[in-house]
Structure 1
């Protein structure tokens, strides 16, 4: 690549300057005890010039880059979703209690084995009906295995110890592409012997399980990645600048073969001689390195109190003041007694509620221009605000025009 050759030449020049600087420094040390002659003065000037050039060159190191494989995918080489409806048995009394569809599903399953039982007469607490989901990757061949996720559909308390019976997994077209079966792996549990108050202990979600490699692929999904000797790259994070950089990086290695169609698609024409070996060409294509570009962005999740900002956010010079309201509600019990010698009054217990509101007295704080995410974080931490406060501050900064970043609130 052209950029790599440029940095290689720059590194070679840097090494030459370093060698020259070392030689000059050595000569300078040898002559330090004598008076500076005109020749020594020239050496000193050369010495200073060499080191100035070195320090000017050092910051020009190659920026971090990533492989095209990590930021884009090949159009056509995509996963497909599968879904199924099945039965889990062996749940030891914690299965579905009395859903009609559970009895009907068990009756249908028994009928497949030649056992005819009216659905209304069935009653089993060791069975639960479940939904299955799975993703089948492109070019998955019959006989290969894929992972399966299982979730309870009825009122079963847990799927611990359960075994999934053979269940077909279908695609959006209604065709069966895989068959799942096996023992469930549950990432949580529920336990308790019904102690005081029937207390139980639960960890995570015991009604959701997984079977690693629990489904066998029965049918391959056709995939097409090359059309008219062209391959489309789909960027995982669509961006016009990133698409242009990807096309330019590919053209550095394969001349005039790539062009950006839009902010999320780069079309690559296969060079002559590679039409019969598209896998080899794609492998070489994916190893090309490029530096993607992302817009300044802050993502706020108000439900969890999470704030994530990328490295490009900037804050202009502004003043910030954020006050908190603290509401205290105190209740106390009083006894109300009638007047002495009263014939009609009764002693009663009354509740008195006192409510007070306290507002923090925060002054107006001036923030300088903050060009990096590190300085933004340091300045906000110095204010002593909580993540919830930061959410409100970021929103106010955006409305005031002081925040140069896209604000996403989820």
Structure 2
């Protein structure tokens, strides 16, 4: 179970800082069982990434400006294909935006199957809200057209701006999705039929997890599986399953088997947001932590100098700087014996450590060799 330490500055000045600790138990419990299909993939599954360039129309004045020449050229070319002659120099529209469309299909999907696509602005549009994508071919890396995409765009947000320049933005409005907006016109080359064996690829390679998967399959079906490496498990199909339907059922049943995965102890820190996420295997060796802070405050007060009455002098305003230093005493935490990260978080909370303090402490613990985990800084 993951222990998540979430911290975020509520204001730019950092007046409010909150640390939230999410956990079920202070001591890490045994990992939960998960289905094999949720932590691995059928290796023979072929997937193809698709991309295309198209136009979104119907925007409420939030499209590309007249300076975006490729949008104007794309629009006039489309109109010419429809039999309309348009002078590109006279086209001034704000309800059209050029976008790139991306999606992914697999060999399991047949012709006529719908799939989701993502659209992203490539011009200077301010929002894709309310727009509709015109029919666009989607190609693979080798230029083969596998699908087309079209439909209304969903962005999950809004962008409102008034004449005085003030605006309200909720979520990101230049990238959206079209649910079932893609349609396969040419299926991916059919996968070979299951014969004597297949391979499972782990999403997070780990020798312990791959060994547990092989062991679980062997307990259920006999000696039919072996862990090839940290990321691959080889499964032999019994000779008794001669029909393709029986082999497909066998693969399905294996995916439903449950195992307890094992993961590398790791702490992930995002210094931009003050977020800390740690796995349940993270431990810390005996250590004493002393952490203090120094705050330097510089204030400037105006000083007005008035000349004598009826003199030729001028009023002068100068600044009188004032420097203040607040050196807080170091707060000490003693951790005796190897402890889990949840215990460290609890101890640091008691002394009032801020999320930024905790991030600095974890980095120092890693340098001191006391943090028994990989430290990843985003």
Verify same fold: TM over 0.5.
yes
8 Å CA contact retained: 2:195, 2:237: no
Q: Is residue 169 of structure 2 the alignment partner of residue 202 of structure 1?
A: yes
User: How far did 1:388 drift?
Assistant: 1.4
Q: Is residue 37 of structure 2 the alignment partner of residue 69 of structure 1?
A: yes
Residue equivalent to 1:239: 206
8 Å CA contact retained: 2:36, 2:254: yes
Deviations 1:166-205, CA, capped at 9 Å, x for gaps = 11111112111111111222312122432xx332222112
Q: CA RMSD in A?
A: 2.2
8 Å CA contact retained: 1:296, 1:313: yes
Q: Is residue 133 of structure 2 the alignment partner of residue 161 of structure 1?
A: no
Match 2:329 to one of 344, 347, 361 = 361
8 Å CA contact retained: 1:235, 1:264: yes
Q: Is residue 238 of structure 2 the alignment partner of residue 271 of structure 1?
A: yes
User: How far did 1:272 drift?
Assistant: 0.8
8 Å CA contact retained: 1:229, 1:269: yes
Query: After the TM superposition, which residues 298-317 of structure 1 pair with which residues of structure 2 at under 5 Å, given as runs?
Result: 298-317=267-286
Distance 1:223 1:75, change over 3 A: farther
Structure with greater helix share of residues: 1
Match 1:224 to one of 191, 194, 203 = 191
Query: After the TM superposition, which residues 72-91 of structure 1 pair with which residues of structure 2 at under 5 Å, given as runs?
Result: 72-91=40-59
Distance 1:191 1:66, change over 3 A: closer
Distance 1:239 1:225, change over 3 A: farther
Deviations 1:107-153, CA, capped at 9 Å, x for gaps = 11111111222322322122111111112233111111111111221
Q: Secondary structure at the match of 1:172?
A: coil
> Could you say which structure has the greater relative contact order, defined with CA pairs below 8 angstroms and 6 or more residues apart?
2
Residue equivalent to 1:371: 339
Unaligned segments of structure 1, at least 5 residues: 1-60
Query: After the TM superposition, which residues 36-47 of structure 1 pair with which residues of structure 2 at under 5 Å, given as runs?
Result: none
Residue equivalent to 1:43: none
Q: Secondary structure at the match of 1:321?
A: strand
- Structure 1 length-normalised TM: 0.79
User: How far did 1:79 drift?
Assistant: 3.6
8 Å CA contact retained: 1:76, 1:223: no
Report how many residues are paired.
Answer: 347
Residue equivalent to 2:94: 125
Q: Is residue 234 of structure 2 the alignment partner of residue 262 of structure 1?
A: no
8 Å CA contact retained: 1:139, 1:222: no
User: How far did 1:101 drift?
Assistant: 0.5
8 Å CA contact retained: 2:135, 2:148: yes
Residue equivalent to 1:114: 83
Residue equivalent to 2:11: none
Residue equivalent to 1:22: none
Residue equivalent to 1:334: 303
Q: Distance in 2 between matches of 1:304 and 1:225?
A: 47
User: How far did 1:336 drift?
Assistant: 2.1
Residue equivalent to 2:21: none
Match 2:62 to one of 91, 94, 97 = 94
Q: Distance in 2 between matches of 1:206 and 1:400?
A: 45
Structure with greater strand share of residues: 2
Q: Is residue 363 of structure 2 the alignment partner of residue 395 of structure 1?
A: yes
8 Å CA contact retained: 1:225, 1:231: no
Q: Distance in 2 between matches of 1:106 and 1:64?
A: 54
Q: Distance in 2 between matches of 1:101 and 1:338?
A: 65
Q: Distance in 1 between matches of 2:224 and 2:251?
A: 13
Q: Secondary structure at the match of 1:238?
A: coil
Unaligned segments of structure 2, at least 5 residues: 1-28
Distance 1:79 1:387, change over 3 A: farther
Q: Secondary structure at the match of 1:123?
A: coil
Residue equivalent to 1:28: none
Q: Secondary structure at the match of 1:393?
A: helix
Query: After the TM superposition, which residues 151-190 of structure 1 pair with which residues of structure 2 at under 5 Å, given as runs?
Result: 151-190=120-159
8 Å CA contact retained: 1:110, 1:117: yes
